[in-house]
Amino acid sequence: MNWNLDTDHYEVRFAHEEDIPNIYALLSTKGVVKHHPKSPMVVEAQAMDEARRMVMQFEAKEAAFWLVEEKMTGKVIARIRLQKFNWINASGQLVLDIFPEHKDSAKVAEILYAVLTLAYEDLSLHRVEWHLQESDSGSIELASLMGFQHEGQLNSVLEFEGQWIDYQVYSMLNNDENWQRAIKEQGLPKG
């Protein structure tokens, strides 16, 4: 199975050793991590540790991480992952870390379509969830535009900096009309 994905404008690929500065650049940016929620990284050693965790979680079949490299510039603009695989219920959870200036519907649609295709076709997942904070209005707008369906709210999932964090639950099923249309049109809606 080929885990590296190729789209018109991006290489959606696994990280390698030379990506530590790319991971650090991404995850030290407040605008990237604030809705997850996480504190931005402050030293590059944290990115090394994160890279190790990415490998370990993949080897344990708990998650898969891709960096999104723009073909034209070679710049890594995002990291996307599928995590919390539940192989019994055929589900997984999507997380997108992306530089705010690249968070537009055309780019996200292209990246997401590649990863969801792998999720449904190669990994045989039935359900992909996307948990988003209500304050992350940009991602909520994108999730709705891409055809994810809002299912409700999970309350007080975790505590971050003294606040309890709620998540809005969005999902896309492999037999959803929106996904079937995306297959037919070979892409998610770009807005």
Partner 1 sequence: MKFVANVDFNGGQLRPLDKSDVDSIIKLYQKQTLAGQSESASREHAERMVELSVQMAATQRGLMWAIEVDGAMMGMLSLYDWQPTSLKTLMRLDVLPGLSQQLQVDALRSGIDYLAQKYHLRNFSFQCLPEGEGAIVDVIKLAGFEQQARLRDFRRISQTEYSDILVFNLILAQSAEGEK
Q: Provide the binding-site residues for partner 1, judged by CB under 8 A.
A: 88-91, 126-127, 149, 151-159, 162-164, 169, 171, 173
Least Å from the CB of residue 132 to partner 1: 13
Amino acid identity for residue 12 in this structure? V
CA distance 24 to 135: 24
Q: Is 145 helix (H, G, I), strand (E, B) or coil?
A: helix
Output 124 or 137, the one with its CB closest to partner 1. 124
- Taking CB atoms within 8 Å and a gap of at least 24, the contacts of 41-47 are 44/20, 47/20, 47/21, 47/23
Q: What is the nearest approach in angstroms of partner 1 to the Cβ of residue 13?
A: 30
The alpha carbons of the chain give a radius of gyration, in whole angstroms, of 16
The CB-of-66 to partner 1 minimum distance in angstroms stands at 25
> In sequence order, what are the residues at sequence separation of 6 or more whose Cβ sits closer than 8 angstroms to the Cβ of residue 162?
none
Output 86 or 137, the one with its CB closest to partner 1. 86
44: Cβ contacts below 8 Å, ≥ 6 apart: 20, 21, 24
Nearest to 25 by CA among 42, 37, 38, 10: 42
> Which CB sits closer to partner 1, 107 or 127?
127
Amino acid (1-letter code) at residue 139: S
Taking the least distance from each CB to partner 1, the nearer of 65 and 170 is 170
In angstroms, what is the minimal distance from the CB of 182 to partner 1? Answer: 17
Residue number, 45 or 154, with CB nearest to partner 1: 154
CA distance 25 to 97: 11
* Least distance CB 126 / partner 1 (angstroms): 6
